[in-house]
Amino acid sequence: MKKYLKAIFAVLAVMLIITAVSLSAFAAEGEETTAAATQEAQEAASSDSTTKAKAYAAAIMIAAVASAGAVAMAISIKSGSNNIARQPEAAGNIRTNVMLGLVFIETAIIYALIVAILLIFVL
């Protein structure tokens, strides 16, 4: 279990570093375009940079949630398989509970996808 937590924290740390590095690049790009542009170009550039930021935020969110969901599903299936191997007579109940858990995990991933779509198209 500690092995999985270390892997999850490592992935999250890499994503945090990538986000921190990319934010400074976006800020530098926005400063260059607004200093040399007219009022209309400034509005277009800010709208464009906002759209880019929304797209990157949605992509990062979906990647994080999908990765966490995949790890959670793998752990759930592994535990269910081990429990069925230990108690074959309870296989029906274990299988039902594992499937119900997988449905809940997948539902959380779908909710994150809906939030990402709303972030891109509505906000």
Residue 20 within a domain: no
Over the stretch 89-107, which tens digit does the pLDDT of each residue have? 999 999 999 999 999 999 9
**The CATH number of the domain where 91 resides is what?**
1.20.20.10
Residue 76 within a domain: yes
Residue 114 within a domain: yes
CA distance 1 to 30: 44
Residue 24 within a domain: no
CA distance 69 to 63: 10
* pTM exceeds 0.85, yes or no: no
Our separate counts of H helices and E strands in the chain read 3, 0
Residue 39 within a domain: no
Residue 65 within a domain: yes
Residue 1 within a domain: no
Specify the pLDDT at position 107: 94
- Domain span holding position 88: 51-121
Residue 17 within a domain: no
Specify the pLDDT at position 27: 56
- Spatial contact of 45 and 33, defined as CB atoms under 8 Å apart: yes
Total tally of structural domains belonging to the chain: 1
For the chain, which ranges sit under pLDDT 50? 28, 34-35, 37
State CA 90 to chain mean position distance: 35
With a CB cutoff of 8 Å and minimum separation 6, the contacts of 100 are none
